[in-house]
Structure 1
Amino acid sequence: MRLRRPLIALAGLAATALTLTACASGTSEEPSAAPDAAVGEGFPITIEHAFGETVVEAAPARVATWGWGSTEAAIAVGVYPVAVAEQSWTVGEGNLLPWVEGAYDEAGIEHPVVLNDDEGGASVPYEEFIEATPDLILAPYSGLTEEQYDTLSDIAPVVAYPDAPWTTAWDENIEITARALGLEAEGEAVLDDIDAYLADEAAAHPEFAGKSFAGIWDGDGVVSVYTAADPRVAVLTELGLEVAPSVAELDSSDGGFYYDLSYEQLDKLGSDLVVNYSSSKEAAETLLTKPETQAISAVAAGRVAQVYDPITVSSVSPPTALSFTWPDGMPALIESIAGALAE
């Protein structure tokens, strides 16, 4: 059973948020909570993160999200953000992820503002945040820099990641989001359901136990290897798989979520299985036949589980509170892993 890391409550809040949010205009005043949602409790709540501490003084009425997964985590506990980060690589400019759009439609909630993120977090649309008038910004799984965090904190309290960019565990993302909203018990219920799902899948696939794997993305002249710190890798260990020792032995990321391995070094990436993420079916098929990638023993043996196309890759990279049971996502990946190990 997975051990969840505790969330530490401390102190701190930016003082100029009201000045900036008071200048915003033309935004909807609809609250971000569904009509029948539970109201958070236990405020003020204080969350420690990589940039310090943030106090959430009262139950937020207008939540904005940035990065990945916190939108779904908020919805799963009954809070519908009024502004969410754009996922341009996945669904294109201005669109919502299908499982997010479906959740809003099913609840009869107006769709949120989609915050421009066409640079993958390299820039932050501060004016769009101001126009959305949030009273809380959730970014526990994101790539925020300290400068971006400081600027956003002038708009509303910001909950950042606990350790390093893009490394927050999928379950910790849900925990942090639920706690910041005062809905910790609801977050635990969501996690219990996911735990049960993963335990059932592990029991259904005893052949996964102890098998080593490497998660990769084939690039131009290099293969990107996802480290054990990456949540898309960590979640697969819940099924009984183990990250291959070679992944750590070759790691040059200095604590990051991935590193690039030159084609000349691919023969060192030993594992029972490779999980390959690709942008298209064609790219996935190319990996299997490219002479250079045949140096990876699992690829040469055909022991490759494939995940391709932006939406499917996003549904498991890592899975979120709403995408765990997305039919073409984790369920399909589990079956692909089973097929690869049968080779």
Structure 2
Amino acid sequence: MKIGKNSKKMLSLTIASAGMAAVLTGCGGGEESGSEAAGSEESGSDESIVIEHAFGETVLEEAPERVATIQWGNQDTVLALDEVPVGFSAANFGPVNENGVLPWTQEKMDELEVEDPNVFQDTDGLDFEAISDSNPDVILAGYSGITQEDYDLLSEIAPVVAYPETPWTTSWRDQITLNTKGMGMEEEGEQLIADTESLIEEKTAEYEDIEGKTVAWVNFSANDLSEMHFYTPADPRVSFLNELGLENPEGLDNVIEDESAFSMTLSAENADVLDDVDIIMGYGDEALYEAVKEDPQLGQIDAIENGNVAFVDAESVVGASGTPTALSISYTIDDYLQLIDDTLNESNE
């Protein structure tokens, strides 16, 4: 097996009190700054900007000047267009620095000479007061897990751009589309998507052996191997693997009951759903792999028995890049593809 090593309004009392209780299980996280998947209307310089999303419709009368972002990776869209958010959420996992910033985000801020970023330390729940204090014209949350309550509270601060339909399932493309629409920079967003697609195409062409192989993202727990926790094709981790040329196994597709859910759990007794998997990916380490390999049920899975398993440390660069953003893709794609290729060519005699 292979282990990935790299690794406007002030707050009302209502908002303040609700913010204390708001807890999110998803991902959270600058200095002041100067998708069609969301079904939005065209906007010009003299037209309002309309963005449709899971909680309805957000209307901006003009392009915002002060942009705040919350939760996982949305700040990367802003930074990728050489703009600096007035505040953004800290990353809740990965190799973050003392501010809670991931390396690809920090690299871009260094390029833009951002010396004192306003990072919301909100990995345990949205910091509504800090968000309000950043005085945003818009709050971007294209990829996020905010609830209706969160959305309502945030909307008392500034207009909010939320995810299209389901929490934590926005692809990197739709994240860029939604967020750049909310910035009044839709055309620039389209170019960013095109450039990223070209990069992916260029890089994957170097790894022809990956094309058509099947992959499953499975998280195991050494403390309880009686269950298997899967990310589904709705999750950006899996959909990105598909973009790299890997396919979803038919056995696993057949047991997905809710296609909109980003994850599901199956008993280890259903290990045969992985019979047609060429490579298993997940969060873990060598010790976890050894435990899984020795399990009487899980150890019978061909990919596990043959060593075609890539467990990555969630605190590593590769581990954190599994959920891709406008900046993480270019930063990590070489290492990611190499890990997959090495794992596919691994064989335990």
Give me the TM-score of the superposition, normalised by structure 2: 0.80
Shift of 1:263: 2.2
Displacement of 1:251 after TM fit? 2.3
Unaligned stretches of 5+ residues in structure 2: 1-7, 13-29, 35-43
2:197 counterpart residue number: 195
CA distance in 1, matches of 2:46, 2:323: 30
TM superposition shift of 1:323: 1.0
Q: Which amino acid aligns with 2:9?
A: L
- Partners of 2:189 and 2:161 in 1: CA distance: 16
Q: Does 1:67 align with 2:71?
A: yes
Letter in 2 for 1:259: M
Report how many aligned residue pairs link the two structures: 309
* Alignment map for 1:1-343 (pairs within 5 Å): 18=9, 20=11, 31-33=32-34, 41=45, 43-90=47-94, 91=96, 94-119=99-124, 123-219=125-221, 220-221=223-224, 222-253=227-258, 255-280=260-285, 282-283=287-288, 286-288=291-293, 290-326=295-331, 329-343=332-346
- Report deviation, 1:79: 1.7
Query: Residues of 1 paired with 2:202 and 2:344: CA distance?
Result: 19
CA RMSD of aligned residues (A): 2.5
Query: Would the aligned equivalents of 2:172 and 2:324 in 1 still touch at CA under 8 Å?
Result: yes
Moved over 6 A (4+): none
Give the letter aligned to residue 336 of structure 1: L
CA distance in 2, matches of 1:306, 1:30: 35
| Contact 2:9–2:132 under 8 Å retained in 1 | no
Cα pair distance change 1:51/1:293, threshold 3 Å: same
Map of 2:37 onto structure 1: none
| Deviation for aligned residue 1:284 | 5.3
Q: Percent identity?
A: 36
CA distance in 2, matches of 1:252, 1:124: 31
Q: Measure the CA separation in 1 of the matches of 2:99 and 2:87.
A: 11
Query: In structure 1, the residue corresponding to 2:330 is in which secondary structure?
Result: coil
- Shift, 1:294, TM fit: 1.4
RCO higher in 1 or 2 (8 Å CA, sep ≥ 6)?
A: 2
TM-score, normalisation: structure 1? 0.81
The structure-2 alpha-carbon separation of the partners of 1:285 and 1:46, relative to structure 1 and needing over 3 Å to count, comes to farther
Letter of the aligned partner of 1:111 in structure 2?
Answer: D
Question: Match of 2:218, SS?
Answer: strand
Which whole-Å CA distance do the structure 1 matches of 2:85 and 2:216 have between them? 35
Match of 2:216, SS state, is: strand
Partners of 1:306 and 1:336 within 8 A in 2:
no
Contact preservation (8 Å) 1:73, 1:320: yes
For residues 73-113 of structure 1, give each alpha carbon's deviation from its aligned partner in whole angstroms, at most 9, with x where no partner exists: 11111221121112233327742112112211221124332
